[in-house]
Amino acid sequence: MTTIFRVSIIFPMLDHFDLIASIYDRLIGPPDTGRLQQLLQLPTTGWLLDGGGGTGRVSYHLNALVDNVVISDLSEHMLKKALAKQVNPVRAHIECLPFSDACFSRILVVDALHHFCDQQKAIEDLLRVLKPGGRLVIEEPDLNHKSVKVLALVEKMLLMRSHFYAPQDIREMVESHGYSAAIENDGRYTAWIVVEK
Ligand SMILES: C[S@@+](CC[C@H](N)C(=O)[O-])C[C@H]1O[C@@H](n2cnc3c(N)ncnc32)[C@H](O)[C@@H]1O
């Protein structure tokens, strides 16, 4: 795969994910990847990008269902944990990915969109690196639920710089780039925004 190194951004020193990287997987627990597999239509050929994939907690379980997995994240310490999981960690801003156009068959973003610096730009660059016919699935806490509104407030008070968006707002961001998106939810507090390019 050809990569173009377009990243010329000064990384922040240590963020809160660096600080909790050593306990992150135990803190959050193992993922339930059943719904993701279904929405991503796995197994498939080609490469999967896990955007803001951190320690590889989620995509490690999808490794056998694609040709290869790349985890892109900003936190060096989270990526060090991913190294042990037979995935390919790449340190980069999601808003400016160091990959050529249309090189991933599948992209997932789990519980990370609200942590990105610029959600609109992140979605634009994720769509750029997605192959035509490929799928992008964004999993986010559903801001339409009261408990998620409380979580958003708590993260604000903890100065975590997160910006939660309701699923319909995320869909609008996708649509502003000329693609349509579907919203799925589990009837509780998780929503998935699914894009077929
Ligand atoms: C809550 S963690 C989720 C990690 C993983 N997706 C999971 O579910 O286990 C959010 C991740 O987003 C990463 N992140 C935050 N802002 C980012 C950015 N602008 N570019 C790339 N990664 C970013 C953080 O370093 C962190 O690893």
| pLDDT, tens digit (0-9, with 9 covering 90-100), for 55-72 | 999 999 999 999 999 999
Mutate to test the pocket of ligand 1, among 74, 77, 85 (most ligand atoms within 8 A of CB): 74
- Is it the case that residue 187 has pLDDT exceeding 90? no
pTM score: 0.92
Give the pLDDT band (50/70/90) at residue 7: very low
**Structure-token match 């795969």, residue found:** 1
Q: What is the mean pLDDT of residues 169-184?
A: 98
Tokens of 164: 């939660």
Tokens of 80: 């060090």
104 φ/ψ angles, rounded to the nearest 5 degrees: -115, 135
Question: What is the DSSP secondary structure assignment for residue 65, as one 8-state letter?
Answer: G
Helix (H, G, I), strand (E, B) or coil at 172: helix
Give the pLDDT band (50/70/90) at residue 5: very low
Distance 50 CA to ligand 1 centre (A): 10
Mean pLDDT of the chain: 92
- Is it the case that residue 17 has pLDDT exceeding 70? yes
Going 56 to 138 to 75 to 157, the CA torsion angle's sign is: negative
- Is it the case that residue 1 has pLDDT exceeding 80? no
Distance 73 CA to ligand 1 centre (A): 6
Pick left, alpha or beta for residue 56 (phi over 0 → left; psi -120 to 50 → alpha; otherwise beta): left
Distance 94 CA to ligand 1 centre (A): 9
CA 136 to chain centroid, in Å, comes to 9
Q: What is the pLDDT of residues 86-139, one digit of tens each?
A: 899 999 999 999 999 999 999 999 999 999 999 999 999 999 999 999 999 999
Compute how many other C-beta atoms are within 10 angstroms of the C-beta atom of residue 32.
12
